[in-house]
Amino acid sequence: MDKEKYSKAFKEVYMILKSVGKEVQEKIPTSLLYFIEENMDKDYFFMLDDSIPLEEQSFMDETLGIISLIWRDYLCIAEEREKIKKEDEKNFKEIQNQIEKERREKYNPDDIFKNKATIQQDQQVQNDVALIQVKENSFTKFLKKLKYILHIN
């Protein structure tokens, strides 16, 4: 996690919670509000634009994530909370399956031994090739001896 990003996101969350009113703030545990206030970037300048609806303003992705968690855990009704949790679990499983699929393609356990067998075969071929004797014909032998006698490299 990027601590700087999250401290800025906490500042945005803090400003959003300040703008929504006391009745919403009372539903959120004071320990969470205190945590947000303590961990926000106090030097980061962020202002909400009152002329634009809250849904249309641009926020950091981290801010939206924190707000969605606060909404899910403290502000929405029980039926909606269960629906959101089920949807989150479904999304999590899909992401987990996708990661597992990518890992399986990259590190396929079925191909591990196939690759080893291929490597061993390649090494055997190299060894076989290295043991092959190159036979020189009589003309090349004669040229080599002549070069040796005449001191030609």
pLDDT tens profile 90-101: 988 999 999 988
Domain span holding position 55: 3-75
Tell me: do 126 and 71 sit in the same domain.
no
Query: pLDDT: is 79 or 131 the higher one?
Result: 79
Distance of alpha carbon 7 from alpha carbon 14, whole angstroms: 10
pTM of the predicted protein model: 0.58
Q: Please tell me the chain's helix, strand, coil percentages from 3-state DSSP, rounded to the nearest 5.
A: 75, 0, 25
For residue 48, being part of any structural domain is answered with yes
Domain final residue pick, 54, 75, 96: 75
Using alpha carbons only, give the angle 72, 75, 78 rounded to the nearest 5 degrees.
70
- The answer to whether position 31 is within a domain reads yes
Which residue type sits at 20? V
Residue at 89 is within a domain: no
Number of domains in the chain: 2
Q: What is the pLDDT of residue 126?
A: 64
- Asked if 65 and 27 touch (Cβ cutoff 8 Å), the reply is no
Residues 6-55: tens digit of each pLDDT: 888 888 888 888 888 888 888 888 898 899 889 888 888 888 877 788 77
How far is the C-alpha of 91 from the C-alpha of 124, rounded, in Å? 49
What digits encode the pLDDT tens for the residues 95-123?
999 998 888 877 776 666 555 566 666 66
Whether 14 and 65 share a structural domain = yes
* Encoded amino acid at 52, one letter: I
Question: Based on the domain organization, do 52 and 116 belong to the same domain?
Answer: no
Structural domain includes residue 38: yes
Structure confidence by residue, pLDDT tens digits, 58-78 = 888 888 888 888 888 888 888
